[in-house]
């Protein structure tokens, strides 16, 4: 599946999540599907941190650049 197709699928999943949150479940189709969390930056579907909404790779890059407040590389 191409990156653009993954992004479109991710946007559709976000819409479904919003419908669940607002209580408009009747607008959703009856078939159950698994909604996967995706990285907001690159679209990766594995190792996505819920708190930040990004994958481990993007998180590491952002943390090393100092873009995430309160996060620093450990050293001992």
Write the pLDDT tens digit of every residue in 16-67: 777 766 666 666 666 666 777 888 888 888 889 888 889 999 999 988 888 8
Class of 37-76 per CATH?
few secondary structures
Give the count of alpha carbons within 13 A of 65, CB side only: 7
pLDDT at 56: 92
Give mean pLDDT, residues 2-22: 76
Give 16-57 as a DSSP string. HHHHHHHT-GGGS-SS--PPPP--TTT---SSEETTTTEEHH
> What pLDDT band is residue 10 in, cutting at 50, 70 and 90?
confident
Q: Are 62 and 54 in contact (CB under 8 A)?
A: yes
Q: Where in the chain is the domain with CATH 4.10.830.10?
A: 37-76
The CA-atom distances, in angstroms, between 11 and each of 21, 38, 58 are 15, 10, 19
């Amino acid at each position: 599946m191409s990156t653009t197709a993954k992004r479109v699928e991710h946007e559709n999943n976000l819409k479904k999540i919003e419908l669940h949150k607002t209580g408009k479940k009747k607008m959703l189709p009856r078939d159950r599907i698994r909604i996967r969390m995706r990285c907001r930056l690159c679209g990766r579907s594995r190792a996505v941190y819920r708190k930040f909404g990004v994958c481990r790779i993007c998180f590491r890059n952002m943390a090393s650049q100092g873009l995430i407040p309160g996060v620093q590389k450990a050293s001992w």
